[in-house]
Amino acid sequence: MAIPQTNFNPPFNITRASHLVLTAQDLAASRAFYTEVIGLIVSDEDANTLWLRGVEERQHHSLTLKKTASEPACEAIGMHVFDEEDLDKAKSHFDRIGLSSKFIEVPFQNRTLRYSDNMGTVVDLVATMKTQPRSHVAVHTHKGARALRFDHYQVLVPDVIAATKFYCDLGFRISDHLVVEGTDINVGIFLHRKNNPWDIVFLHRAGPQFHHGGYVVESLFDLIRGLDCAGSVGFPECIEHGPGRHGHGHAYYTYLRDPDGHRTELLLNAIQITDRYDEPVACALEANSVGNRWGFPPPKSWFEEATPFAGAKIVAPPMEGDPLTLEKYLSTKSWRRAPTTLRKSA
């Protein structure tokens, strides 16, 4: 199936993925995880809410955690628009296409427009929020992986083409798309507004469900330091997948689960995609591959577990694939090496 084409004259201007709102049953445990392991900074907090940011972020928060007694959920993903006028243009656009949206009050943010997209994913649009000093040079205060900034989301959806078309109509460009080898079936599509391969990623599964949010770290050492800290401060089992290296985007990565099961990816800077003629790249997925340059395939949990969006109905796709999981790989992989043949030098 052909991938959607980008509308280069969108009705309003989204600039990037910017923030995330999750609920948590134990704020103290979540605070420890995100500050001591991921390395985020607490911008503000009260008895029921935490607002956190990366060490180089000026925006007040890129992650909001709200205390809940219910099952943990994703309340919304957030995106920045260019200016306040774009919020009014977005409201008019959603009204015109019959999509529900409303302005809501959010602490430390100026006007915020909330909508649910065509898959049911809840999205908050904001032009400005309170700013804080950057802390990237205050290295003596850094903890864990010293996460620099929020980068992207991955969302599970039952129809990646329909989800992608919605955002291509809003000006998003496709960097890469994952195609089952020998077919035209797309099972993953990577979209961006800023100049790297992704702001939002859609993966073919039951949804909408929030799969993970990604934070950029400065170096591979910082990524490993975050994992070391996880093992030192009481979160040794939070490491779900990785380290490894993605084939698409070419970034080193690892995935971790917080105390409520929400998933965070730590990754290094990916390739740049700047020019309009840099067209989408199709990445064929072989039967025994997940598209990585190296590293074990993800465990079953990575494919099957995700965070529901609050109030959204989860819909199963017509067909689901049979991905190569870590468990399957380990049960079939032969570890016996073939005899080495040495060649005499001339």
CATH number for the segment(s) 14-137+145-308: 3.10.180.10
CA 271 vs CA 20, 37, 173: distances in Å: 23, 25, 15
264-277 tens-digit pLDDT: 999 999 889 988 88
Which of 55, 13, 59, 17 has the alpha carbon at shortest distance from 196? 17
Predicted confidence (pLDDT) at residue 151 exceeds the cutoff of 50: yes
DSSP readout, 252-291?
A: EEEEEE-TTS-EEEEE-------STT---EEEEE-TT--S
Across 92-105, average pLDDT: 97
The amino acid occupying position 126 is V
- Look at residue 262 in the predicted model and tell me its pLDDT: 98
User: Among 157-161, 229-233, 257-261, 280-284, whose mean pLDDT is lowest?
Assistant: 280-284
pLDDT tens figures, 125-137? 999 999 999 999 9
Question: Which of 29, 20, 24 has the alpha carbon at shortest distance from 238?
Answer: 29
What does the domain layout of the chain look like in residue ranges? 14-137+145-308
Tokens of 16: 């990037």
**Pair 163, 157: CB distance under 8 Å:** yes
Residue 266 near residue 241, CB atoms below 8 Å: no
Query: What span, in angstroms and rounded, lies between the C-alpha atoms of 35 and 285?
Result: 36
More confident: 189 or 288: 189
Cis before 208? omega within 30: yes
Phi, psi of 33 (to 5 degrees): -60, -50
Reported pTM: 0.93
d(CA 188, CA 323): 12
pLDDT over threshold 60, residue 289: no
Q: What is the pLDDT of residue 57?
A: 98
Report CA-CA distances (Å) from 93 to 83, 96, 101, 163, 208: 16, 5, 10, 17, 22
Q: How confident is the model at residue 246 (pLDDT cuts 50, 70, 90)?
A: confident
pLDDT tens-digit map of 161-189: 999 999 999 999 999 999 988 888 899 99
* Tokens read off for 63: 């992650």
Q: 10 Å Cβ neighbour count for 256?
A: 24
Provide the 10 A C-beta neighbour count for residue 317.
16
Lowest-confidence pick of 251-255, 310-314, 321-325: 321-325
Tell me the C-alpha distance between 57 and 52, whole Å.
10
Answer yes or no: is pLDDT of 336 > 70: no
Please, what is the end-to-end C-alpha distance for the chain in angstroms?
A: 54
